Structure 1
Amino acid sequence: MPLSESELILNPDGSIYHLNLHPEDIAQTIITVGDPERVKSVSKHFDSLEVAKGKREFLTHTGILGGKRITVVSTGIGTDNVDIVLNELDALVNIDFSSREVRKDKIQLDFIRIGTSGAIQPDIEVDSFLLSEHAIGLDGLLHFYQSESVQNGEMGAAFSVHLGLEGEKIRPYAVDSDKELASLLNSNRIRFGITLTNAGFYGPQSRKMRLTPKFDDFNQHLASFQYDGKKITNLEMETAGIYGLAKLLGHRAVSLNAILANRASGGFSKKPQQTIDSLITYTLEKIVQHF
């Protein structure tokens, strides 16, 4: 049954509504970044650039590197934007825009997030790289979808009990990374961990300026959580949403984090741009080598 114009929204030129892209504009390997300016930091390494389009905070570049076609797209901050980006990228490859019908033969995309993050464990060094083996979301996005099949229910429940959230309005969810994709991006430079995806940057990450966060010693409680011998290692604002939607849509996803801050020690990187550029280079080398 064709999708209505209010469900699949297209621009007058036939491009998808928010991203302003046509199906031929994207590759099957997609790097997501939060900051639109970081798109250029990735695409400057391409041997050639085929596509450069943007609308609002969503900037997309597609090009060739070492014979591999790669797309890099900015999501902006937060899982609300992730909801737009993941759904529209999937629509570009798995919905026929002419008939407005879902294609029978689905295309699987690979999503690799290159993002910045803050560690909450004192032994995680600033300027190191961390791969989110699991992600726990406090944002609520996945609860708007029939998503139980892709959630790590036991981890989510254990986390809720640990923080005493049963009587609160916060209902965490947990999702695992794609193991095969993670193995392709692994090396002795990468540390694995559980990433917490927060609903905001200040109160939701226990920052106190003029407003008082509801939960006292929130980061300390997070740092003391353990599941199957694993601890929460870092905080950010997109990974759990990416993991959840990717799995629901039949895609693969991994999140790589440049650790720029350590909330336990109070330290912040003295060379943040250099660290981010190093993670970008590392990721592109792995893509050319293994994808």
Structure 2
Amino acid sequence: MSIKASELILNPDGSVYHLNLRPEHLATTIITVGDPDRVDSVTQHFDTIEFQTRKREFHTQTGTYKGKRITVISTGIGTDNIDIVFNELDALVNIDLEKREIKEKLTSLEIIRVGTSGSIQKEIPIDSFLISDFAVGFDSLLHFYKSESVQYPEISDALVKHTNWSPLKSKPYVVRCNEELFEKFSSNKTVKGFTATNVGFYGPQGRVLRLPVQDNTLNDKLASFSYNNMPITNLEMETAGIYGLSALLGHKALSMNAIIANRATGEFTENSSKTVNELILYTLNKLVE
């Protein structure tokens, strides 16, 4: 059955609506970053760049690194943007855009997020590299999809109980990375993490400027939570959405975090650009091993 024009919106040139991409522009290995300017920070290391486009916060470049074809795309901040980016990336490889029909043979993408994050555990130092094994989403994105098959409700139920989670907030959902990618990218340079994906940078992450927060002990509760010796390690704003949608769509996803702040100790890195660039190079070299 053909997908209606109102559901899959295409631009006049046949590209997908928000990303402004056509299928030939996309590699099957993709690096996502939040900041549009960070795309250049990744592709400065490329051998070649064959294509680039920019629309709104979505900046895309495709090229090669040590002979491997890779697409780098900025998502902007938050899981609402992840919903747009990941559905449109999937449409580019798994929907015939001319016929508006789902393809019989589906393609699985390899997607690596390279982003920044703040630790909530004292023993995870600034400037370290953390790989998100599990992620808990405090947004409601995955609840809009039939997603029970990719969730870990026993962990989210334990977290709700531990934190005395407010019923006025969306129920947390727990998802996991692609285990094959986790093993490939792990080394003595990385820390294994359980990442909390927040719906904002200030109040949702316990920052108080002029507005009081609903639960001013939430970060302490998150830091003291542990499920089967697996504590929550860090806070950011995209990983749970990435893992949830990737698992539902049949893609492999992994989130690589440059720890630039430690909320437990109050420290912030002296050179975030250096730490992020080192993580970029680490990620690129792992991709071509």
TM-score, normalised to structure 1, is 0.98
Once the two structures are superposed, the pairs formed by residues 1-291 of structure 1 within 5 Å of their partners are 1-165=1-165, 167-289=167-289
1:166 Cα deviation after fit: 6.0
Q: Secondary structure at the match of 1:24?
A: helix
Structure 1 distance, partners of 2:164, 2:171, is 11
Which one-letter code corresponds to 1:143 in the other structure? H
Please state how far the C-alpha of 1:216 moved relative to its aligned partner.
2.0
Letter in 2 for 1:47: D
- Once residues 288 and 110 of structure 2 are traced to their aligned partners in structure 1, the CA distance between those partners, rounded to angstroms, is 14
State the Cα distance separating 1:67 from its structure 2 match.
1.4
Query: Equivalents in 2 of 1:147, 1:252: separation in Å?
Result: 16
2: CA distance between counterparts of 1:260 and 1:229? 24
**Which segment drifts farther, 154-163 or 166-175?**
166-175
3-state secondary structure, aligned to 1:59: strand
AA aligned to 2:229 is G
Which runs of 5 or more residues in structure 2 are unaligned? none
- Whole-Å Cα distance in 2 between the matches of residues 260 and 197 of structure 1? 16
CA distance in 2, matches of 1:273, 1:6: 41
Q: 2:51 and 2:89 mapped to 1: Cα distance?
A: 15
- The percentage of aligned residue pairs carrying the same residue is 57
> 2-side partners of 1:263 and 1:279: how far apart?
20
1:226-273 Cα shifts (integer Å, max 9, x gaps)? 001010000000000000000000001000000000000000000110
- In structure 1, the gaps of 5 or more residues are none
